[in-house]
A and B are shown apart, each in its own frame.
Chain A
Amino acid sequence: MSKLLTIDGLTVSFPTPAGGRNEVVKRASLTIAPGEVHGLVGESGSGKTMIARAILGLLPPGGRIDGGSIKFDGQELLGLDNESLRKLRGARIGMVFQEPLTSLNPALPIGKQLAESLALHSDLSDAEIRKRSIEMLAAFRMPDPEGCLSRYPHEFSGGMRQRIMLASVLLPRPALLLADEPTTALDVLVQKQVLDLAASVCRDLGTAILLITHDLGVVASYCDQVTVMRYGEVLNDGSVEQILLNPSDPYTRKLLDSLPKRGEGGPRTTAIGDELLRVENLEVHFKKRRFFWQTPIVKRALAGVDVSIGKGETLAVVGESGSGKTTLGRTVAGLAKAASGRVLFDGTPVEQGGRALRSRVQMVFQDPFSSLDPRWRIGRVVGEGLRHTDVPKAERAALVRQTLVDVGLTEQHYDRFPHELSGGQRQRVAIARAVVMRPELIIADEPVSALDVTVQAQILALFRDLQVKFGFSYLFISHHLGVVEQVSDRVVVLYQGRVVEEGTRDQIFDDPRHPYTRALLSAVPDIRPAPGGGWHVEVRDLERVPPPDGRSFIEDGLAPVDLIEIAPGHRIAVAA
């Protein structure tokens, strides 16, 4: 079969501060057949994005192609003059980017942005372009496609914008779509919707896709062929069955091994003790106003939330953005104020506990790049909280060094600055800062979502080891179901500020009852080890099941709910 795109021995380099050049893509080769969906997988720094940029001749400033060839439809793209390249861009090769919030021009209405590439590359009349734009938006199931044309990007949600982006790129019916992490910034349910739509429209148009992603689940469920990259080199490529599910390459195996899975690290060795944290009927509001004499607009972030955590237990809180999961963690940590309800720690309301209680609850934040004061050395960062403890001054430095070792760093890191560390190392420092206080509860807010999958696996293992060693309880907040499945004892599912389902890990993952939980679990393709060696993709398609006793589920997060118990410890929300 003739190839649509053939990349051969491509090398891309960028200047280094020292004056040399750093090769971010090294003699990479890959081929894509017409209509094929080709996954390009790798962790950060693997060079996967630069390959897509190089195809279009749109490398960031400083980038240079040092060698190789890129043939598209039989035509060599490298060395092509700007004008000929420009005629290919948009018309024959389209590209969508990761961040839907910044990839549409905020100053132009949607209609103009949709029409742009057709107007540039065809002689179609304005009316015809308009008609096709509306059809394409309809194909992407945009509500009121005609009305969309005169609206501006900021009026749409992230998922909608990404659908608009895809519609605008696919409108000239390109032969190849370069999609750079197109759904990484989206919630899982939206991600599935967008990818399903994109795949089906591309199939209808016969457009091949180069899908650049770090998410192996996405590759396994949408791609035909896959290429794995690391440090700018292509490690192997072939069909998904061949490469991903029965890999011979050690790095690919390591990637797959790093995927979170239930029961990783064997059965728990510590027993769950008495109740440590109790959240009762918690309600949290955000207020916003533009002028100080105006009455503020109140937005409810959490409503009627009850949660409890036992000593040594890991409670995972799952939900999409806007579900209130972060607010729950911040309220327990004392960073947000409850409008009503109580947060009891070891029987004492947290707001009355003062500093003594503060040090018993610690927190690990999502972004390891902004959670450490850039001007402080690591030792000082980790030891900062000790001034509120009764650890004698003379022993503090030794304790900090020991804690650095406990979290998998070395004593040499004591005098380093945060910017000298990698993302994974910084997250270890953030964990050390919590651990050094010997708290009873650690709130971890998306602690691994900014990390690559192999680093993520190491940090999750660290959380488990520390729990075994020190007996911490965790309030583990995550949007990632795989991660939750690996770390949790019990799970709480939040939706629009309410608990919709609560139960043990096995209850939630094996027998989910609430339609929202079921939808979440259906949206995520799982890659699991196959019994006979290798891996297989598990896509669940959970039908709705009616709630017991003739009650009904509610769809609107603001309507009142009852939590009913359907099995010991397993509760679901139904209409009150």
Chain B
Amino acid sequence: MLRYAALRLLATIPTLFLVAVIVFGLIRLVPGDPASIMIGDSADPDMIEQVRKSLGLDKPVLVQFFVWLGNLLEGDFGRSITTGEDILPAMLTRLRVTAGVVLASIVVALLFALPAGIYAAWRQNSRVDFAIVTGVIVALSVPSFWVGILLMLVFGVNLHWLPVVGYVSIGDDFINGVRYLILPVAALVMVEMGTVARMTRSSTIEVLRLDYITHARAKGAPESRVLWKHAFPNAFAPTLTVIGLLLGHMLGGVAVIETVFTLPGLGRFLVDAISSRDYPVIQGCLLLVALIRVMVNLLVDLLYPLFDPRVRL
């Protein structure tokens, strides 16, 4: 197990290296001189030269890359051009907000979507199944940022039940923190429920077709046992993969929600950096998100054998 985990961890190194190359290359692809774009064309040449130096743009590209990579490995992501703050700590603070919203919404989504998907598969083609399937399609068709806006419109603007804009950390004030989280989580949860319910349903349908399910019934196992003891563990393995992918996907999707509710999360950090052409922050955010995603996928791969012993460790 440990050996396998170590091997898998090693196998992510080339991927992460390429991720770094892509992020680095992206900024080099900016047409024109990055330094002058960053601070504007009107700036005086000395200032541009100074920015060039501070970014190491006067050195050969390969040298620039490895210096940058070396700094990254030491945890030095550079400083923001607009605010001058150290990027890594700034990102980690914002990551806490993002992680809170994403994890809370995924937990809520699993709570509803797993039973719904399994039930729909078990009663395939029934009315309830049809209702769930239709619900899934609708959930996947409504853009989360629009749901967010509608929720704000109803619960914030019209009913005044919940705050619509801003953020209070749960750590500082639990009740208020939760109040600020409810609408963003509700906006995200729909698409997540749709994705998980859809996958759970189809993988459960696949499993329910297999001989060992009929065999379990032929042994006289009651339906509840067939479903939870025999079908669910096997159907959950592919669903687990989807949950991992979803978690990574949501790191992107949450950017829009953070913008809607003006949450100080990682996604909005990136969006703001793009509008202000703050390249070191763009690089940092992309890298951090990619790193998290690769690690989540790794975790899923390591958890997978718990549900499917056929996968060798």
Shortest distance between the CB of A273 and any CB in chain B (Å): 50
- Given A97-B214, A152-B309, residue A105 in contact with residue B230 (CB < 8 A): yes
* CA of A105 to CA of B221, assembled, Å: 13
**Interface band, chain A:** 20 to 34
Among the stretches A83-91, A441-449, A507-515, A548-556, the one at the interface with B is: A83-91
Least Cβ distance of B152 to chain A in Å?
44
The interface residues of chain A lying within 8 Å CB-to-CB of B308 are: 106-107
Q: Are A152 and B310 in contact (CB under 8 A)?
A: yes
Q: Which residues of A contact B217 (CB under 8 A)?
A: 56, 58, 89
* A279 CB, nearest partner CB in chain B, Å: 35
State A284–B48 Cα separation when bound (angstroms). 65
Inter-chain contacts of A165 with B (CB < 8 A): 215
User: In the complex, which of the residues A90, A97, A99, A102 contacts B220, with contact meaning CB atoms closer than 8 Å?
Assistant: A90
Q: Is the CB of A103 within 8 A of B233?
A: no
**By the criterion CB–CB under 8 Å, are A97 and B215 in contact?**
yes
| Assembled-state Cα–Cα distance A96/B220 (Å) | 13
Interface string of B230-241 (1 = CB under 8 A from A): 100110000000
Q: How far is the CA of A537 from the CA of B152 in the complex (A)?
A: 82
- B307 near A95 with CB under 8 A, answer no
Contact of A169 among B210, B219, B222, B225 (CB under 8 A): B219
Residue B212 interfacial (CB < 8 Å): yes
B218: CB under 8 A from chain A?
Answer: yes
A241 close to B (CB within 8 Å): no
In the assembled complex, which residues on chain B have CB atoms less than 8 Å from the CB atom of A86? 220-222
- Measured between beta carbons, the chain A residues less than 8 angstroms from B271 are none
Residues from 100 to 150 in A contacting B, C-beta threshold 8 Å:
102-108, 116-117, 120-121
How many residue pairs, one in A and one in B, have C-beta atoms under 8 Å apart? 76
Chain A residues closer than 8 Å to B220, beta-carbon distance: 86-91, 117, 120-121
Q: A86-B222, A89-B218 are in contact. Are A102 and B212 (CB under 8 A)?
A: yes
Q: Answer whether residue A3 sits at the interface, using C-beta atoms and an 8 A cutoff.
A: no
Which B residues lie within 8 Å of A58 (CB)? Answer: 214, 217-218
Q: Scoring B residues 95 to 127 as 1 if CB is less than 8 Å from chain A, else 0, what string do you get?
A: 000000000000000000000000000001000
| Min CB gap B220→A, angstroms | 3
How close is A297's CB to chain B, nearest CB, in angstroms? 13
Roughly how many angstroms separate A56 CA and B221 CA in the complex, as a whole number? 12
Chain A hits for B309, CB < 8 A: 106-107, 152, 154
Measured in the bound complex, the distance between the Cα atoms of B218 and A121 in whole Å is 12
Assess whether A107 is in contact with B210, with CB atoms less than 8 Å apart: no
Complex: A99 Cα to B212 Cα, angstroms: 10
| A95→B221 contact, CB < 8 A | no
Per the bound structure, the CA–CA distance linking A304 and B219 in Å amounts to 49
CA distance A165 to B229 in the complex (A): 18
Contact partners of B234 in chain A: CB under 8 A: 105-107
Q: How far is B230's CA from A84's CA once the two chains are assembled, in angstroms?
A: 21
Interface assignment of B289: CB less than 8 Å from any CB of chain A:
no
Interface check B7, CB cutoff 8 A:
yes
**Alpha-carbon separation in the docked complex, A90 to B219 (Å):** 4
B211 within 8 A of A: yes
**Contact across chains for A291 and B218 when beta carbons are under 8 A apart:** no
Residues of B near A99 (CB, < 8 A) are 211
A106 to B207, CA, bound (A): 11
Contact with A along B1-30 (1 / 0, CB 8 A): 000000100010000000000000000000
Q: Which residue of B lies closest to A154 (CB)?
A: B310
Closest to A171 in B: B219
Q: List A contacts of B162 (CB < 8 A).
A: none
> Is B216 interfacial (CB 8 A cutoff)?
yes
- Complex CA gap A169/B217 in Å reads 12
- Nearest A residue to B10 via CB reads A291
Pick from B124, B216, B222: contact of A105, CB below 8 A. Answer: B216
A122 to chain B, nearest CB (A): 11
Chain A contacts of B11 at CB under 8 A? Answer: 291
Instruction: Indicate if the CB atoms of A90 and B310 lie closer than 8 Å.
Output: no
Choose from A96, A97, A120, A154 the contact partner of B221 (Cβ within 8 Å): A120
CB distance from A123 to the nearest CB of B (A): 15
Complex alpha-carbon distance, A331 and B210, angstroms: 35
Provide the bound-state CA to CA distance between A103 and B234, in Å: 13
CB distance from B75 to the nearest CB of A (A): 28
A159, CB-defined interface residue at 8 Å: no
A94 interface residue, CB < 8 Å from B? yes
> What are the 5 A-B residue pairs with the smallest beta carbon separation, nearest first?
A90-B220, A90-B219, A89-B220, A103-B211, A95-B218
Interface residues of B (CB under 8 A from A): 7, 11, 124, 210-212, 214-222, 225, 229-230, 233-234, 307-310
Q: List 6 A–B pairs whose Cβ atoms lie within 8 Å, in order of A's numbering.
A: A56-B218, A86-B220, A89-B217, A90-B220, A108-B230, A154-B309
